[in-house]
């Protein structure tokens, strides 16, 4: 349920510098270069996107998609959302607009779908109908990750449109390990689709016998996906026990999981590090100990000119916001801010250049929508 707040709440934050690819020592606490305003409160929100008129669509884990006013004081649940299996890590997940939304009003979203053979990740789209009874009309599932499996973890489900209009979609390996390397499974993959959900015609691995939608493989649980201004595709994924990664996603590459990782299995079994297999694509950055990354935004606004081109990542383990400096196809850890102990699930740039965060709303975190503005 949406719980709008009309007041402004300050949040105590601590600033800390990141290290290089390996863990670095924390810098002394200090004031961050932004001020925070709590805009609204939600029940376990997962993702958000802005409409052209500055209203927002916000998804909640249990299966609600909310149309939220620009000031956060009013929200309406959209009709037309299909049944969602929200057990464990499942739920209503990402939401993005079609690049030509102003013309076609198409909204794309991902969710964990109950199925006869278990459950699975689904990509759907519908047409936003505004007014007194807002809804998504003509909703259809346009892609289903396969195979269906039991259990409720590692769906991934992030969506990003490329500059050329193709749709990229992340599919986690569902905590089953081996599907990430299976050429016929679409689990543990980055997928490249047409905007109707069909595989793009020239994907790089189809001629080698892979499922035709696959763009890259050997992934674990990808919870952030974004293009930079040069058209490079970046994604982050949670490592097993530590070893979270930021990757530059290249066509046809194998990113190694579960063969290699800079983390290890939760039961203590060792996974060889990436440097033992130079034939597999290594991450541009990794975090050990883990930050549990969620949400990825590459900043392009004017309110924080010093951060143009930086990547921003929500952290659900260290409970904060992480900035990564990007330089072409290189990446460097830059800043990390403790967001008062709150798990950050989503990071977005607003139409005015402000940075917007959604708290996770689980495991002690609240669920607030927060706007960051320069001090």
Which residues, in sequence order, are CB contacts of 205 under 8 Å at separation 6+?
A: 183, 214, 215, 217, 252
Q: What distances in angstroms separate CA 191 from CA 100, 158, 161, 163, 177, one per listed residue?
A: 21, 10, 11, 16, 18
Please state the rounded mean pLDDT for residues 102-126.
Answer: 95
Name the pTM for this structure: 0.92
pLDDT of res. 20: 32
The order of strands in the sheet holding 244-248 is 221-227, 233-238, 244-248, 285-287
Which residues, in sequence order, are CB contacts of 52 under 8 Å at separation 6+?
A: 101, 102
Rama region for 160: left / alpha / beta (φ>0; ψ in -120 to 50; rest): beta
Helix, strand, coil % over all residues of the chain, rounded to 5:
5, 45, 50
How far does Cα 227 stand from its chain's mean position?
12
Kindly report, residue by residue over 165-176, the tens digit of the pLDDT. 999 999 999 999
pLDDT of res. 10: 31
* Dihedral angle sign, alpha carbons of residues 278, 284, 287, 291: negative
Q: State the Cα–Cα distance between residues 115 and 193, nearest whole angstrom.
A: 22
pLDDT of res. 150: 85
pLDDT of res. 230: 97
Q: What is the mean pLDDT of the chain?
A: 92
Kindly report, residue by residue over 323-356, the tens digit of the pLDDT. 999 999 999 999 999 998 899 999 999 999 999 9
How far does Cα 60 stand from its chain's mean position?
14
Res 39 pLDDT > 90: yes
Query: Are 215 and 255 spatial neighbours (Cβ–Cβ below 8 Å)?
Result: no
Q: What distances in angstroms separate CA 149 from CA 117, 154, 211, one per listed residue?
A: 7, 11, 18
Residue-by-residue DSSP string for 184-196: S--TTEEEEE-TT
Which H or E run contains 341?
none
Q: Which residues are catalytic?
A: 154
Cα–Cα nearest to 42, from 362, 367, 370, 342: 367
Q: How many CA atoms within 13 Å lie on the side-chain side of 313?
A: 38
Higher pLDDT, 318 or 328: 328
Q: State the Cα–Cα distance between residues 25 and 270, nearest whole angstrom.
A: 25
Kindly report, residue by residue over 189-239, the tens digit of the pLDDT. 999 999 999 999 999 999 999 999 999 999 999 999 999 999 999 999 999
Kindly report, residue by residue over 265-290, the tens digit of the pLDDT. 999 999 999 999 999 999 999 999 99
Res 125 pLDDT > 80: yes
Residue 60: both structure tokens together: 């909640």
Residue 150: both structure tokens together: 């039991």
Kindly report, residue by residue over 286-314, the tens digit of the pLDDT. 999 999 999 999 999 999 999 999 999 99
pLDDT of res. 2: 45
pLDDT of res. 364: 85
Q: What angle do CA 125, 129, 132 make, to 5 degrees?
A: 140
* Dihedral angle sign, alpha carbons of residues 259, 260, 263, 268: positive
Please state the rounded mean pLDDT for residues 29-33.
Answer: 73
Domains and CATH numbers, the chain: 14-23+53-374 (2.120.10.30)
pLDDT of res. 117: 75
Local structure of residue 149 (DSSP, 8 states): B
Res 17 pLDDT > 70: no
In degrees and rounded to multiples of 5, residue 347 shows phi and psi of -130, 130
Cα–Cα nearest to 315, from 219, 218, 224: 224
Confidence band for 30, pLDDT divided at 50, 70 and 90: low
């Amino acid at each position: 349920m949406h719980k709008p707040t009309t007041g402004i709440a300050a949040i105590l934050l601590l600033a800390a510098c990141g290290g290089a690819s390996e863990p670095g020592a924390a810098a002394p606490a200090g004031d961050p270069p932004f001020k925070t305003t709590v805009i609204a409160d939600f029940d376990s929100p997962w993702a958000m996107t802005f409409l052209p008129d500055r209203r927002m669509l916000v998804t909640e884990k249990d299966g609600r998609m909310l149309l939220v006013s620009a000031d956060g004081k009013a929200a309406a649940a959209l009709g037309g959302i299909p049944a969602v299996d929200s057990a464990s890590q499942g739920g209503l997940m990402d939401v993005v607009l079609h690049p030509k939304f102003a013309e076609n009003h198409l909204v794309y979203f991902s969710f964990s779908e109950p199925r006869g053979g278990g459950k699975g990740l689904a990509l759907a789209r519908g047409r936003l109908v505004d007014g007194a009874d807002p809804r998504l009309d003509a909703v259809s599932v346009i892609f289903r990750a396969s195979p269906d499996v039991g259990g409720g973890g590692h769906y991934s489900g992030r969506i990003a449109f490329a500059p050329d209009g193709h749709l990229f979609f992340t599919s986690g390996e569902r905590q089953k390990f081996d599907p990430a390397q299976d050429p016929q499974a679409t689990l543990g993959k980055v997928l490249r689709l047409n905007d109707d959900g069909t595989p793009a015609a020239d994907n790089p691995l189809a001629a080698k016998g892979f499922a035709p939608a696959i763009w890259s493989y050997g992934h674990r649980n990808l919870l952030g996906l974004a293009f930079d201004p040069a058209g490079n595709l970046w994604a982050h994924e949670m490592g097993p026990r530590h070893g979270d990664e930021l990757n530059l996603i290249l066509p046809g590459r194998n990113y190694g999981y579960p063969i290699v990782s800079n983390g290890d299995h939760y039961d203590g079994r060792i996974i060889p590090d990436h440097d033992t297999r130079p034939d597999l694509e290594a991450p541009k950055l990794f975090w050990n100990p883990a930050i549990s990354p969620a949400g990825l935004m590459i900043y392009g606004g004017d309110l924080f000119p010093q951060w143009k081109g930086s990547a921003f990542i929500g952290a659900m383990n260290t409970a904060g916001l992480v900035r990564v400096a990007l330089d072409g196809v290189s990446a460097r850890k830059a800043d990390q801010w403790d967001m008062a102990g709150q798990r950050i699930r989503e990071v977005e740039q607003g139409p005015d250049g402000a940075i917007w965060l959604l708290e996770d709303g689980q495991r002690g975190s609240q669920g607030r929508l927060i706007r960051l503005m320069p001090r």
